[in-house]
Structure 1
Amino acid sequence: MGGRWEPAGRLREHCPRASPAQHLAAAITIGDHFFASSSSTPDYDEYHQAMLRHLQVDASALLLAKLRRKVPTPVFLETHPDVMETPCFAALQPTR
């Protein structure tokens, strides 16, 4: 895997009424197992379909396209706490 990755946020954004939080966590676990059971990076639509099946949400072509779209850098940047204090991290922050 590479790039920006935040499946829980994507599912919450595009399936807000799909399920309670504990079902969302279980769906993410199903997605994690889906990736772990593959010897190479599987198709992202199949990954999303596995999670959506658990949430009992129709995996329409439009929804799958929304879930796999690229996320702009300013929208999501996950770092470990020890990185946040480095000059490199500071340089990545948008100016206001």
Structure 2
Amino acid sequence: MSLIGRIWRGEEGLGLTFWGYGLGANLLFSMIMLMTLQLRLPIWAFSAVFLFRLVYMVFISVGIWRSAGRYTGNQAWAFLAKLMVIIGYINVFLSLGRGA
């Protein structure tokens, strides 16, 4: 079984999926995007990272949601993880509306 498949099906633990693959990867993408701007790389470089980040966001959101659905611990953590997925999408749509 591949790691990508396990994440997609929600078979990885909620903590690792949310904090590691979700938040950790998001911070990494943010740093890479900032570097492309600071280094004044061509716009296609920034755009490529941005588009990959969007695809990854969909992927990891599904993984987090499914992992939260399988979570057997305190259900408040599962609820909060799902809430953060929703807030993340609201933030993206609001950012697009502002043109940022």
Q: TM-score, normalising length from structure 1?
A: 0.29
Q: Larger % of helix: which?
A: 2
Q: With CA pairs under 8 Å and 6+ residues apart, which has the higher RCO, 1 or 2?
A: 2
